Amino acid sequence: MIRYSLRSLLNPLRKQPDFIILGAQKGGTTSLFDYLVQHPSIVGPTKKEIHYFNINHDKGLGWYHQHFPIALNKMKITGEASPMYLFHPDTPARIKSYKSDLKFIVLLRNPVLRAYSQYNMSLRNKQENRSFEKAVDEEMELLEKHNFNILELHENLSADHFQNRLYLARGLYASQIKTWLNCFDNKNFLFLNSEDFYANTAEAYTSVLSFLGLDQFDKISFKKLNSGSYVKLSDHLSSKLSSFFKPHTSELNSITLQNFNWFE
């Protein structure tokens, strides 16, 4: 006799996501997600980061849909935020085969500051024991060895190294977004500068709601989440990394038709 859980029986009634916050990691995705689920027309999933389209893809769509609300009100929308999606090379094609009309929100932070923030997070999580300078030098060699190819890095590194100890590669935004634009039209994306998001949060929030086709809502608590404190990055490394990322950021501006002016 086949037995079905109540949850599995309800899966066909569950809403599919309307939007996904793709990343970047340490770019403000947790804060933005918290602000969005405060909106009366958005119902959040059981958790912010589901990671179905990267590390949990083998669990199947039934497992994925269990995280979303039952579709009792067609006027409400839902979505998720898994910052690894932007970086993982398999994710765009997987999402394309799942649902082609999803809307994507991409928060992009100054890649120098983003890399240093991720490094300090890895230190706190005991996933890293190198100095930041040593980690940077070793990754620069690794990137050159693999011709800055993220797919090659994914295929040749351990899952832990790829997910937790690549600080520069995650800031090569142009390369990542090219992969996404091979699968989706530019109109599916809203690209935001994380620095602008933090400096003018209400204005950025308004643009996100417009992108999602929702009414404006001003009863939001704009509390910054997941912020960390650590020693300031040295001028030497800041200059070195700015020079490294500057040409990649110029390419990013050409691809997205935006002006990410981190290094002007």
Cα–Cα distance, 62 to 65 (Å, whole number): 5
pLDDT 10s digits, 18-37: 999 999 999 999 999 999 99
> To the nearest whole percent, how much of the chain has pLDDT over 70?
94
Q: Which residue is it, tokens 């959040």?
A: 44
Inter-residue contact 22 to 86 (CB < 8 Å): yes
Cα–Cα distance, 104 to 214 (Å, whole number): 15
Cα–Cα distance, 261 to 193 (Å, whole number): 9
Cα–Cα distance, 66 to 52 (Å, whole number): 11
Mean pLDDT of the chain: 92
The CB-based long-range contact list for 238-245 (8 Å cut-off, 24+ gap) reads 238/112, 240/136, 241/111, 241/112, 241/115, 241/136, 241/168, 242/112, 244/140, 244/168, 245/111, 245/112, 245/168, 245/171
pLDDT 10s digits, 188-218: 999 999 999 999 999 999 999 999 999 999 8
For the whole model, what pTM was predicted? 0.92
pLDDT 10s digits, 134-168: 999 999 999 999 999 999 999 999 999 999 999 99
The enclosing H or E element of 201 equals: helix 201-212
Q: Which CATH class is domain 15-256?
A: alpha beta
- What pLDDT, on the 0 to 100 scale, is given for residue 36? 97
Domain regions of the chain by residue span: 15-256
